[in-house]
Chains A and B, each alone.
Chain A
Amino acid sequence: MRFDWINILTTVIFVSIVVTLILAVASYFAYKVREARRPKTAAELRQEGEMKAFFHQYQPPK
């Protein structure tokens, strides 16, 4: 039996390129989702002008 190497190689190349492109876009999407879900760092909270604390800051009566 004689193998048609060109067709086999084409299929391999075609499938790998398509799969990689899909994987690349999906990975980028996954990265963006992970970043969106990540808790904010202290520096980010400072930048936004808010500071989360485990207790409410005591404000002395005027």
Chain B
Amino acid sequence: MAKKPLHPFLQLVISIVLIAAVVILTLSIFRYPDRLGPIAVAALVITLGTFLTLLILRHFLLIWFSYLHQRELANDEPLDAYPFVSIIVPAYNESEVIQSSLGSLLELRYPYYEIIAVDDGSTDGTFEKMRTFEGNHYGVQVQVFRKENSGKADALNYGIRRSRAPIVVCMDSDSRLTPDALRYAVRHFKDPDVGAVAGNVKVINRHNIWTKLQALEYIEGLNIVRKAQAFFRTVNVIPGPIGIFRRTAIEGTGGYDSDTFAEDFDMTVKMLADGWKIHYEPKAVAYTEAPEELLDIIKQRYRWSRGILQAIRKQKHLLTRSSGTVTTPMSLWYMIFEGLIWPAMNIFANVFFIWIALMFGMTKLLVMWWLLLTVLDVLIAVHAILMEGEDMRLALYSIFYRFFYIVIIDVTKVFATLEELVGLDMQWGKLARKGRI
């Protein structure tokens, strides 16, 4: 029998206790500097030194490997013949965006594909809007199915079972593929060891500071990281808005599981564990609608953080061993570092530098630290924007990125991790769409 969830008020109380505990612990470390022994002070300095070294090293390694990947792609030749592709579009209460999403799929410049739209028991008229696309559109067969609500993972499996092609594209119903996305993505399947290709996700609604910051985050953080990982063929998240899979690979994993809140990450880990290579194609672009308000961003990142942790816990046996390859454990450890350790270190570094400035009057150190990080962030933003051919004005937002945006996201990640570790209940938390795609 399923465990009965805690009362929302009780969940809130537990969250407040966790927040208070973290704040009190952080303040208590720095409250009485004279009581900190020399070992504690040395440990703090070493931790912060490590943080700065890691930060700079991480940035340069990511840029270097993403550059190598870009150079490698430049020599890639197009395919002689394109394989048949099935596109799976699961949707739950997406009436605002479903028509735009399906419409974009009919405009793909790809010779041979079908579309399988699965309504996951929507109650807002999504199915009726989907039905208007049913039929044959100049050789592209659109099939629409309706099933009882059971989650995105289940809806994707339902669509995959009804598809016929050797290459399967899984996407979100709030995404819009660019016309050449498939042409570029399928070329990587020339290598028989490639099980999946991650696409390039970009933010479509860039009209307030939050969405512009997310647009920059997607260009700078997520895609540079994916490019660097793709150099080793170990991309560790095939994004929900655009994932292209070899049918045999996806069927070999048993399909998507519903027991985590990050089914895309969970699927990626299963494929890496099965020994498949995972590539990234920057020209396979999917535009997605980003949350427009702060609390919605927190809601999304909370779900991502807990979902990743759930998937890692589920596959924890892979942290130490893998079927003949070291890439799976490395990939999981990288996610632990990025998702859990790095956010905590970032917050800690912020508090630590304020403390130094206050206690010892080391204001120059604070300014130098800030300038170093800002210059680094601006350079990386410019590099990423140039590589992606994006709007250079977004680089201005990199000044606000580290000191405002990342702090808020990292605080959310830390609390989400704590709540996952204490086993607090959570729900999917579907975001309300504005219909911007």
Contacts and interface: CB of A to CB of B under 8 A. Distances in A.
Partners in one complex: yes
A26 to B, nearest CB: 10
B188 to A, nearest CB: 37
B298 A21 contact: no
Contacts of A32: 11-12, 15-16
Contacts of A20: 403-404, 407-408
B2 A33 contact: no
Contact of B5 (A16, A25, A31, A47): A47
B412 A24 contact: yes
Contact of B295 (A10, A31, A37): A31
A20 B354 CA distance: 13
Contacts of A24: 407-408, 410-412
Interface string B364-389: 10110010000000000000000000
Contacts of B407: 17, 20-21, 24
B357 A14 contact: yes
Contacts of B367: 6, 9-10, 13
A10 B367 CA distance: 6
A21 B363 contact: no
Interface string B280-323: 00000000000000110011001000000000000000000000
Given A10-B357, A13-B367, A18-B354, A35 B408 contact: no
Interface in A19-47: 20-21, 23-25, 27-38, 41-44, 47
A6 B301 CA distance: 36
Given A21-B351, A33-B12, A9 B370 contact: yes
Contacts of B23: 25
A34 B295 CA distance: 9
A7 interface: yes
B71 to A, nearest CB: 38
A29 B364 CA distance: 34
A36 B11 contact: yes
Contacts of B19: 25, 28-29
B363 A6 contact: yes
Given A24-B408, A28-B19, A28-B411, A41 B427 contact: yes
B406 to A, nearest CB: 9
B350 interface: yes
B307 to A, nearest CB: 16
Contacts of B350: 17, 21
Contacts of A38: 8
Interface in B400-421: 403-404, 407-408, 410-412, 415
A27 B354 contact: no
Contacts of B9: 36
B258 to A, nearest CB: 12
Given A20-B407, A29-B19, A14 B354 contact: yes
B387 to A, nearest CB: 29
Nearest to A44: B427
B294 A27 contact: yes
A48 B5 CA distance: 7
B429 interface: yes
A5 to B, nearest CB: 8
A33 B8 CA distance: 9
Query: Which among A9, A16, A32, A34 has the greatest number of chain B C-beta atoms within 10 A?
Result: A32
A55 to B, nearest CB: 19
B404 A7 contact: no
B222 interface: no
Contacts of A13: 366-367, 370, 403
Instruction: List 10 A-B pairs, minimum CB-CB distance, nearest first.
Output: A24-B411, A10-B363, A36-B8, A36-B12, A24-B408, A31-B298, A32-B15, A20-B407, A13-B370, A31-B295
28 contacts: A6-B363, A9-B367, A10-B357, A10-B363, A13-B367, A14-B357, A17-B350, A20-B408, A21-B347, A21-B407, A21-B411, A23-B408, A24-B410, A25-B19, A27-B295, A27-B411, A28-B19, A28-B411, A29-B15, A31-B412, A32-B11, A32-B12, A32-B15, A32-B16, A36-B8, A37-B8, A43-B428, A49-B4
Interface of B: 2, 4-5, 8-9, 11-12, 15-16, 19, 23, 123, 149, 294-295, 298-299, 302, 347, 350-351, 353-354, 357-358, 363-364, 366-367, 370, 403-404, 407-408, 410-412, 415, 427-429
